[in-house]
């Protein structure tokens, strides 16, 4: 996979994961053009389109578009499965995920993605393992909070 973009129906970017090195300017240009192209698609059209020399696989979940760019030899149907699996992971983590969850917790969305894909390839097929890894990392993050804040929250409760 070369990159994955998440954007809303108004074209606002919610997540951008790039697996190829590109300048900021290029990324912005690609994002702008691709978002326009995908948003222009009618609802009944198929999930694949050819854009520049890449294959684009996209799917809409509620108000969010999940859009991946894959290479010529990659399997489009598998990419659809990958997108679906990512949505399932988000859903499990946030509990009935909606766009707002991803907006307010965008770092978490990235962390989850990074446990599922690495360098553009699938690293873990088991949903359980991915979520377990995130849980562990979250715990570690809790532990590393400075003592004063933790005490403070204890006193409050």
Partner 1 sequence: MVVPSLKLQDLIEEIRGAKTQAQEREVIQKECAHIRASFRDGDPVHRHRQLAKLLYVHMLGYPAHFGQMECLKLIASSRFTDKRVGYLGAMLLLDERHDAHLLITNSIKNDLSQGIQPVQGLALCTLSTMGSAEMCRDLAPEVEKLLLQPSPYVRKKAILTAVHMIRKVPELSSVFLPPCAQLLHERHHGILLGTITLITELCERSPAALRHFRKVQILRLLRILGRNHEESSETMNDLLAQVATNTDTSRNAGNAVLFETVLTIMDIRSAAGLRVLAVNILGRFLLNSDRNIRYVALTSLLRLVQSDHSAVQRHRPTVVECLRETDASLSRRALELSLALVNSSNVRAMMQELQAFLESCPPDLRADCASGILLAAERFAPTKRWHIDTILHVLTTAGTHVRDDAVANLTQLIGGAQELHAYSVRRLYNALAEDISQQPLVQVAAWCIGEYGDLLLAGNCEEIEPLQVDEEEVLALLEKVLQSHMSLPATRGYALTALMKLSTRLCGDNNRIRQVVSIYGSCLDVELQQRAVEYDTLFRKYDHMRAAILEKMPLVERDGPQADEEAKESKEAAQLSEAAPVPTEPQASQLLDLLDLLDGASGDVQHPPPLDPSPGGALIHLLDLPCVPPPPAPIPDLKVFEREGVQLNLSFIRPPENPALLLITVTATNFSEGDVTHFICQAAVPKAPLRLKLRLTYDHFHQSVQEIFEVNNLPVESWQ
For the purposes of burial, counting CB atoms within 10 Å of the CB of 16, is it exposed (0-12), middle (13-18) or buried (19 or more)?
middle
Choosing from 11, 36, 122, 152, the residue that interacts with partner 1 (CB under 8 A) is 122
Cβ 4 to partner 1, closest distance in Å? 12
Question: If DSSP codes are grouped into helix, strand and coil, which group holds residue 14?
Answer: strand
**Tokens representing 77?**
């149907």
Cα angle at 119 between 116 and 123, to 5 degrees? 35
Residue ranges in 80-109 that form contacts with partner 1 under rule CB under 8 A: 80-81, 103-104, 106-107
Question: If DSSP codes are grouped into helix, strand and coil, which group holds residue 48?
Answer: strand
Cβ 94 to partner 1, closest distance in Å? 14
Cβ 144 to partner 1, closest distance in Å? 4
**Tokens representing 88?**
């399932």
Contact pattern for partner 1 over residues 1 through 40, marking x by CB under 8 A: -----------xxxxxxxx-xxx----x------------
Distance from C-alpha of 134 to C-alpha of 138, rounded to nearest angstrom: 6
Choosing from 63, 75, 127, 152, the residue that interacts with partner 1 (CB under 8 A) is 75
User: For partner 1, which is the closer residue by CB, 14 or 92?
Assistant: 14
The beta strand positions in the chain, using DSSP E, are 3-8, 13-18, 48-51, 54-61, 64-70, 117-118, 121-122
Residue ranges in 44-73 that form contacts with partner 1 under rule CB under 8 A: 44-50
Residues that bind partner 1 (CB under 8 A): 12-19, 21-23, 28, 42, 44-50, 75-78, 80-81, 103-104, 106-107, 110-111, 114-115, 118-119, 121-126, 129, 133, 136-137, 140-141, 143-146
């Amino acid at each position: 996979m070369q990159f994955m973009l998440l954007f809303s129906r108004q074209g606002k970017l919610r997540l951008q994961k790039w697996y190829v090195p590109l300048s900021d300017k290029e990324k912005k240009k690609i994002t702008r053009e691709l978002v326009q192209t995908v948003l222009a698609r009618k609802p009944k059209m198929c999930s694949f389109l050819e854009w520049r020399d890449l294959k684009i696989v996209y799917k809409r979940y509620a108000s969010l578009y999940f859009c991946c760019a894959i290479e010529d030899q990659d399997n489009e149907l598998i990419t659809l499965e990958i997108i679906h699996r990512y949505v399932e992971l988000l859903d499990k983590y946030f509990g009935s995920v909606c766009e707002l969850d991803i907006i307010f917790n965008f770092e978490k969305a990235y962390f989850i993605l990074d446990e599922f894909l690495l360098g553009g390839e699938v690293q873990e097929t088991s949903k359980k393992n991915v979520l377990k890894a995130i849980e562990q990392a979250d715990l570690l993050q809790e532990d590393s909070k400075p003592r004063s804040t933790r005490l403070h929250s204890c006193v409050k409760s």
